[in-house]
Structure 1
Amino acid sequence: MKAKLQVGVLGFGTVGSGVIRILKEHQEKISQVTGYDITVKKVLVRDLEKNRRYEAEGFTLTTEPKDVLDDPEIAVIVEVMGSITTAHHYILHALKAGKSVVTANKDLIAIHGDELVAVAQENHCDLFYEASVAGGIPILRTIVNSLAADRIKKVLGIVNGTTNYMLTQMTASNKSYEEALQEAQDLGFAEADPTSDVDGIDAARKMVILTRLAFGMNVNLDDVKTKGIRGISQKDIAIASQLGYRVKLVGQAEEIDNTVDVAVGPVLLPKAHPLSGVSDENNAVFVTGAAVGETMFYGPGAGEMPTATSVVSDLITVAKNTKLGTIGNVFNRFVHETKYTPAEKVFSKYYFRMQMNDKTGTFLKLTKIFADAGVSFDKILQEPNDKHTATVVIISHAASRNQIDEAVRGVNAEPEMRLITQYAVVEG
């Protein structure tokens, strides 16, 4: 008989159910791969009487955290309950008790990852969190292991399935922002309160984690320039398409001269760019390495089985480490001093849509404002709105963030012009 590795699970919702299902359905393969019979012993739930899709067969349900966290037979804790404060408390408790931890909690890892890694190391435990970014895509382990020999230069990520689904519907089916949001909520892709998704907060937390692993730098969430998709209109999507682009919510992390710049926001992607074709609730991460060049990792960004697959993959790694006696090695040892790229060294093309008085001399003023800021024009569109105003669309040549900010200040100071939208443009 193979040795047993007993597991405690915190949470029996969608992902927790998926983890238990995979461990049961793939038991023979997992046993061969790890050399252990991995079994769930106890599961922490809020309500013992709640109806669930899966019966509690072979394990015990409890509402008492200590029943799981303090059980000496449980060697590994799987945290799939969500939250930040409570999960943080439970995981610290588990690590200090000498139990390895697998979590899917991107909010927790983005905010408290450094602390938890240090505690895991002090107590010779494993801490893995592959499922915290991009669901079923094994992007974190790919960066840590498969790309360890390369120097990563840039990471672009569509890492929020809710907003990607909404933008797909707005682009493919001409739905308004409100219609797309309602449909995403009806399908369960968006929460009743969608703030974290639509305002870019969820994507920003995932970019903090990706940046930590790709560049060894621990950026603060407050230092990630974050903008969501509220305010994106059918007008912008139609104009972008006319100019050969699609609008996507993209997280960007780039290393420039041993500094890093991290941002999340709507961008214009050339239709030929691989990320441009990522549709519906899918996620993708596009990585540029100095040696390997450009690679993309694509797949489901959420959902019961994709996310649970990543969780169980981490659990298998813990089991292998246990068998080899290598428990307690840090998931990622690459650490670099965190330095932020100054605004004058961050360059990009930009898209501007503005409304202007349609009279002689106004466009000349606009040209002078941009020229004084050092920003030149790549593409220009002008359409009359009525007898008195026109919509002007500009795509600039690459300019620094400082130069763009100066141009925007000039436009905002001019009473005959009103800036409506401003997005970065990713070059193909």
Structure 2
Amino acid sequence: MTTATEGKELTQVGPGTVMGELMRQYWIPAAQSSELERDGAPMRLMLLGEKLIAFRDSAGRVGVMDHRCPHRCASLFLGRNEEGGLRCIYHGWKFDVSGNCVDMASVPPHQDFKHKVKAKAYAALERAGIVWVYMGSSAKAPPLPAFEILDVPDDEINVTFIQRECNYLQALEGEIDTSHFGFLHAGHVDPDDVPEGDPVHNTLTNRAPEYHIADTAWGTQYAAYRAAGPDSTYWRFANFLFPFWSQAPNGEFGSHVHARAWVPLDDGNTMFCFLRWKRGVSALTQPQPVFRDGRPIGGTGRGNNFLPNTTDWLGRWRLAANPGNDWGMDRAAQRSNAIYSGIDGIHLQDQAITESMGPITDHAFEHLAPSDQMITRTRRRLLMAARAFRDNRVLPPGVEDAEVYRGARSGYFVSDDKNLWQEIYVKQLAVALHPPSAPLRAAE
């Protein structure tokens, strides 16, 4: 059982917290590059409980800094983005993307001390159409994680952001819990009504898989397995990757190149950031699942409807279906068994479940089962790494050696291989399709 103390350590992400300090050692996906216009209005950005602003200057460089002007703490969100910097409208002080004060318009030249003033700014870079931010205190930022998806040319990467009203941990744990699929997403589907070649058929034939779990260099990994005939096994491999990334098994292992981040905005709100190779075979690149007779399977609708973005701290990438309208639940569809949950859409079903738990789950109320081994293993891995960093300054996995992520992939496949599960994984990875890399990039 996760204790109250452990729960706080795992879920609190603000400055000075155990998990917050661990996360600040990594590059964090913070915004889509398209959200920031050159010389355009600054954007409010909440990240790890800190109120920041982001802007793009006249040269196209991105700045991310504390929203408070270091003069009198007026919000730089109100500032004027002009001629290479952001000018506070209170007294005209101006700051560049590195936080340097480059003009003190309200101070006589002989009393100017701009060289002594600096806004609290964080390093930022852009990759795959995303603005990444490093919020740690190290003089040299670490490399970006060596996810295979970040090797892919930008025009072959699909990027999705969706905000979720709950703590990052319960959102992440919903991703690494595979036993819910046969109920939440497909509880209304009879396996005899699905074509035998469809991967869903194997999941529905046995809704209670068994598992192998292990710590890995990048975090943790599970392999859920079920019989797929007399001599074959249906495998679903998935990963947790430090500090808040996951790789779901919702695609063919051979081409499912992707990474999914659950970025804590604050303790009770999370931004889902999903990067996937457009040419990989996954649930999102295939037609909507159908029954044998060709009818679409209910609850598997595609696409998400968003509310208009606002300038609020939490005003970006919010779904129209949310706790305020019960996620669009259709009780008639639920009663008739047209949709097991009554909610249409796999992602939305997951979102509804994790948001229904409240902003932060009370872990003392849980009764975890054998099917939750990946969750308990991942909590322990996070706690041990965070405490090791707090107590002995041991850097967590992937900070110094970003290449550890390169061995991680998820997906499903059927195999008659009788070797150990980790050996089966290595063999599948060796023959998997690896997309062509982008041209050599300049060093960060």
Q: What TM bracket, shorter-length normalisation?
A: under 0.3
Which protein has greater RCO, CA pairs closer than 8 Å, 6+ apart?
2
TM-score (norm. length: structure 1)? 0.24
TM-score (norm. length: structure 2)? 0.23
